[in-house]
Amino acid sequence: MKVLMLGWEFPPLINGGLGIACLGLGRAMAQQVELSFILPKVDPAFLVDQLELIGLNHLEDRTIDREKVEQSLADVANVKWVEGEVASRMLPYQLEEVERAQGHSETTFTTVEESKKSLAGEKVIDRLRAVGLDERLAMFRDDTLYGDDVGERVWAYAQVAASLAEDMDFDIVHAHDWMTFVAGMEIKKRTGKPLVLHVHSLNYDRGGPDARGWIYDIEKSAMEAADLVIPVSRYTGTICTGHYGIDASKVHFVHNGADPVKTYRSKSPFKHGLVLFLGRLTGQKGPRFFLEIAAKVLEKNPGVYFVMAGTGEKMRELIEYGAFKDVGDRLHFTGFLNKEKVNKLLSMTDVYCMPSVSEPFGLSAIEAAQYGIPAVISKQSGVAEVMTHARHADFWDVNMMAEHINELLTDPKAREEAIQYSLEDQKNCTWEAATERIIELYRDQLGIHN
Amino acid sequence: MMKGFLTRLSKVLASDSSEGSDKNAKAAKAAEETTQPPAVPDKVANTKKKKAPKEEKKVSKIQVDPSLQPICFFFEAHQPNRLKPYSFFDIGNDPFYEDDELNRKLLDEVCEVSYLPANKMMTELIKEGKGQFRISLSVSGVLLEQLELNRPDVLKSFQDLHATGGVEIVAETYYHSMGFHRSKEEFKEQVEKQLEKIKEVFGVRPKAFRHTACVYYNELAAFVESMGFESMLGEAVGWILHGREANRLYRSPNCTTLKAHLRNGILSDDVAFRFGNHAWPQHPLTAEKFATWCQTNGGEVVNLFMDYECIGKHQDKDTGIFEFFRAFPAAWEKLGGRFVTVSESAAELEVAGEYDCHEPTSWADTEKDLSPWKGNAMQEEARRKILIIEKQVKSKNNPELLHQWRKMQTAEHFYFMSTKGGESGKVHERLRPYPSAYEAYLYFMNALSDLQIRLDEE
């Protein structure tokens, strides 16, 4: 089976949650099917075993002749760019805005210094130029993938990806999130191949239930046009079927996986406990509820410390609100943290709290579990379906959240139990399991067998 | 007219203060002081006699206009101990909160562009004696400490300036703090610490007091009076003066002896803030022009109070600020004017009326109140939380911890947290060593958490 995936973020250039999930899934799926990924930007030095990565920022080096490329690089990966000085094109930038979202960075990839095998054949870029896509391609050389002109980028990506796809051989087109949904629809239209949409997050999660606009429209029309919709949780599935009115018979959730991480504990100066919020400081993540919860916990346990790791447009407002709630010497902000610092923080944390207003999945709760940290998470999160033994509460129920935290901090028996359960829970979250389930869905829903 | 404290025994004091930094010499010095204090006024009187004829000769060349109100220059020299970007991960691990490198850098900078050349200039002007030039000066304890540690040469130049006899040292809180509303006891201790420091460095006991940023209000004034001060500086605030002249001395209704010296905000800010501003219609401000403004300003004394850093730092040398000050005493003398220090004007003048100041006023921003340091939630919380641990800190009997806690009371920490906009906001932004008010708050609160944890563990 040959699968063409359409992605937007991808490590190491962009390390948001979407990129991490695409890499995790891509790496696992590439072991089972023949998999290619079209991305707006790739780092040519970043290779993944068995996974073909096609970046619109590096089509200059891409030739049409697929077979030859595959032969020449089969031992490394099915990657097609090349022709000299590839390494010098590497852009070691970090897109701060997105990277700050989670502070993840990937460590288990293969990096090659350069790959010098040259190939014969027509250049893809010349073909695309011939059909007038030159200025579209130029958009992907900028440092950002979002920003004010994200709409233009989405369209440019759709046009170029569709042109590329016409030359490619695949059975299924599988698009990740709205930025690539337009391309997915276009490819389905041009090639007639079945369209699978992978929903990592929706406008509903980012903008709230009343958010409308062209992004909502893209999501809705794409899900209507799709043959199979794969939300990352049952919870998000209910948004697809309920909020977007998508036919439930084609909506089938597949939980994300989580790569195992090396964990450690370090000494903490916070004797009465440290409670962690990790994520972007934006409405969807419920950071303000975290502040309320902190104030509640402090009423009972004034010695507890809280930390909000991450940054976002709500940061200043939250800082002032924390001061107003009089918790500024107990609730600290770290700003953006890199992965190393996030790990350090996890190693000190006693309770993980995720009061998200709407969280399609919530990988960080699993990472916390890997660190042996009991979690208190909102019912409005996908990860609550996986972490069945974690403490749950509605995101707005700060009293319940605070009670859970107080119990986990003051009752050693309850705490130990919670830790053991969450360690068990997280073991089931693997990308291999996700891959298996997706291949099953391809078979059962689309009739395409591996 | 001239009081004994105005002229100094330069030699005695210089040797005194050089010993001041030597802890071992303290005891010996103290003993010396207890046996010898009466000698000081006598000697002062002697030196005055030697100097006086010279001065009088000079002055006599120019007609002193007895109806012209004198000018009282007061300068405040202070540098805060700015905090480093103290992060969450430092809590419990790093007991040092200050950005030594930055503080050192800014200290060196202000010494080079302001303190050293300004001290030199003031020394010369006092020696020239045009209009019997003299100034009043306050140097915060935290600055004296920084100078002792890093720039003894500059400390010496302050001492030399003082030794000219034309400088009256004014008292304040050692830590340039603003905690009076929370703890009178702590306020008093900080003033006493500053008095000790001044004694050690300059060998005098000030009679005049000026609170941080010229904060003044009735309750504070009464307390300052109870501490034995004769004068206190404040801002001449229009809504309290009710149309009365700023250029007179006043008294708070709950004081019986303390005289309120009110800063002439317009004339002071002409020099302190507007001097180098090309957009100001009066730019450039010449010494002659400014002297005429002072001449026609009426009243009994023109109080020009400002940061010492205005000379060379806030107004850099390219603005011509040094030339202005160099020329001003002569220009003022030409009009028949003379200069006085704070306590000289207090001795000369009777109070002209009641100054009923219920709310704290200051010389800062356009609001002339405490709004630069309080008002937003971050400032309120930080101020309150640093002050409420007083008992706990003091119960530990740990001088280092006490000192560290007190340094966190320095007003600038809260000033940097201001989220004001407009003209005032621009000034805050210029002085702030962090990207925004929010960083100032976060670093402070992180450090405070560490301090609290250390207190609990101690």
Question: Residue B249: what residue type?
Answer: L
- pLDDT given for residue A159 in this prediction: 86
Residue B448 to residue A268, Cβ atoms within 8 A: no
The first and second tokens of residue B191, run together, are 């003033």
Peptide linkage before A12 cis (omega within 30 of 0): yes
Are B262 and B250 in contact, with CB atoms under 8 Å apart? yes
pLDDT digits (tens, 9 = 90+) for A250-273: 999 999 999 888 899 999 999 999
- pLDDT given for residue A389 in this prediction: 87
Are A30 and A59 in contact, with CB atoms under 8 Å apart? no
- pLDDT given for residue A131 in this prediction: 63
Mapped onto helix, strand or coil, the DSSP state of residue A342 is helix
- pLDDT given for residue A108 in this prediction: 28
Angle at A151 between CA A150 and CA A153, to 5 degrees: 65
What does DSSP assign to residue A379? S
pLDDT digits (tens, 9 = 90+) for B275-320: 999 999 999 999 999 999 999 999 999 999 999 999 999 999 999 9
Distance from CA of B181 to the nearest CA of A (A): 19
- Identify the residue among A277, A315, A329, A349 best suited for mutation to test binding to B, counting B beta carbons within 10 A and taking the highest: A329
What does DSSP assign to residue B66? T
Complete domains list, chain B, with CATH: 68-354 (3.20.110.20), 377-457 (no CATH)
Q: Which residue of A has its CA nearest to B452?
A: A329
Residue B441 to residue A324, Cβ atoms within 8 A: no
Residue B88 to residue A307, Cβ atoms within 8 A: yes
| Partner B, chain A 373-412, Cβ-Cβ below 8 Å | none
Q: Which residue of B has its CA nearest to A309?
A: B88
Complex confidence, ipTM: 0.80
Residues of B in contact with A347 (CB under 8 A): none
Q: Give mean pLDDT, residues B228-240.
A: 95
Measure the CA–CA gap between B445 and B86, rounded to whole angstroms.
9
pLDDT digits (tens, 9 = 90+) for B65-79: 888 999 999 999 999
pLDDT above 80: residue A235? yes
Q: Does A421 touch chain B (CB under 8 A)?
A: no
pLDDT, averaged across chain B: 88
Q: Does A269 touch chain B (CB under 8 A)?
A: yes
Q: Does B447 touch chain A (CB under 8 A)?
A: no
Q: For A158-167, A189-198, B388-397, which range has the lowest pLDDT when averaged over its residues? A: A158-167
Q: Which residue of B has its CA nearest to A319?
A: B438
Are B297 and B68 in contact, with CB atoms under 8 Å apart? no
- pLDDT given for residue A450 in this prediction: 77
Contacts of B72 (CB under 8 A, 6+ apart): B136, B261, B301, B302, B303, B304, B339, B340, B341, B342, B344, B345
The distance in angstroms from the start CA to the end CA of chain B is 55
- pLDDT given for residue A127 in this prediction: 64
pLDDT above 60: residue A224? yes
Question: Residue B108: what residue type?
Answer: D
Q: Does B36 touch chain A (CB under 8 A)?
A: no
Radius of gyration for chain A, computed over Cα atoms and rounded to the nearest angstrom: 22
Q: Does A329 touch chain B (CB under 8 A)?
A: yes
Question: Residue B394: what residue type?
Answer: K
Element of type H or E holding B295: helix B287-295
pLDDT above 90: residue A151? no
Residues of A in contact with B420 (CB under 8 A): none
**What residues does B83 pair with on adjacent strands?**
B98
| Partner A, chain B 318-377, Cβ-Cβ below 8 Å | 376-377
The first and second tokens of residue B111, run together, are 């010494």
Q: Give mean pLDDT, residues B5-24.
A: 39
Distance from CA of A425 to the nearest CA of B (A): 30
Measure the CA–CA gap between B54 and B129, rounded to whole angstroms.
9
- pLDDT given for residue A80 in this prediction: 32
pLDDT above 90: residue A74? no
The distance in angstroms from the start CA to the end CA of chain A is 5
pLDDT above 80: residue B454? yes
Question: Residue B439: what residue type?
Answer: E
Complete domains list, chain A, with CATH: 2-257+431-446 (3.40.50.2000), 274-427 (3.40.50.2000)
Measure the CA–CA gap between B72 and B69, rounded to whole angstroms.
10
The first and second tokens of residue A77, run together, are 């990966």
Residue B378 to residue A328, Cβ atoms within 8 A: yes
Q: What are phi and psi of A325, to 5 degrees?
A: -80, 0
pLDDT digits (tens, 9 = 90+) for B360-372: 999 998 889 999 9
| Placement of tokens 């025994």 in the chain | B9
- pLDDT given for residue A254 in this prediction: 97
Measure the CA–CA gap between B178 and B381, rounded to whole angstroms.
14
- pLDDT given for residue A150 in this prediction: 82
Q: Does A302 touch chain B (CB under 8 A)?
A: no
Residue B91 to residue A269, Cβ atoms within 8 A: yes
pTM (2 d.p.): 0.81
pLDDT above 90: residue A274? yes
Q: Give mean pLDDT, residues A333-356.
A: 94
- pLDDT given for residue A152 in this prediction: 83
pLDDT above 70: residue A231? yes
Radius of gyration for chain B, computed over Cα atoms and rounded to the nearest angstrom: 22
Q: Give mean pLDDT, residues B217-244.
A: 96
Angle B184-202/B141-150 helices, nearest 10 degrees? 40
Using alpha carbons, list the distances in angstroms from residue A312 to A99, A315, A336, B267, B363: 11, 6, 9, 46, 37
Q: A–B: how many Cβ contacts below 8 A?
A: 59
pLDDT above 90: residue A118? no
E strand residue ranges, A13-171: 34-39, 46-47, 51-55, 110-111
- pLDDT given for residue B379 in this prediction: 97
Measure the CA–CA gap between A279 and A447, rounded to whole angstroms.
39
Q: Does A270 touch chain B (CB under 8 A)?
A: yes
Measure the CA–CA gap between A195 and A51, rounded to whole angstroms.
20
Residue B89 to residue A341, Cβ atoms within 8 A: yes
Measure the CA–CA gap between B436 and A438, rounded to whole angstroms.
48
Q: Residue B360: how many CB atoms within 10 A of its CB?
A: 23
Residue A332 to residue B381, Cβ atoms within 8 A: no
The first and second tokens of residue A265, run together, are 């504990």
Question: Residue A160: what residue type?
Answer: V
Element of type H or E holding A393: strand A391-393
Q: What are phi and psi of A93, to 5 degrees?
A: -85, 165
pLDDT digits (tens, 9 = 90+) for B20-54: 344 444 444 444 443 333 333 333 344 444 444 44
Distance from CA of A326 to the nearest CA of B (A): 6
Distance from CA of A271 to the nearest CA of B (A): 9
- Structure confidence at residue A60 as a pLDDT band (50, 70, 90): confident
Measure the CA–CA gap between A58 and A68, rounded to whole angstroms.
18
Q: Are strands B259-263 and B249-251 parallel, antiparallel or unpaired?
A: antiparallel
User: Contacts from A386-394 at CB under 8 Å and sequence distance 24+?
Assistant: A386/A255, A386/A425, A386/A426, A386/A428, A386/A429, A387/A422, A387/A425, A387/A426, A388/A425, A389/A418, A389/A421, A389/A422, A389/A424, A389/A425, A390/A365, A390/A418, A390/A421, A390/A422, A390/A425, A391/A418
Peptide linkage before B284 cis (omega within 30 of 0): yes
- Structure confidence at residue B265 as a pLDDT band (50, 70, 90): very high
Mapped onto helix, strand or coil, the DSSP state of residue B361 is strand
| Stated length of chain A | 450
pLDDT above 80: residue A73? no
- pLDDT given for residue B452 in this prediction: 95
- Structure confidence at residue B13 as a pLDDT band (50, 70, 90): very low
Question: Residue B288: what residue type?
Answer: E
Is residue B362 packed enough to be buried (19+ CB in 10 Å), middle (13-18) or exposed (0-12)?
Answer: buried
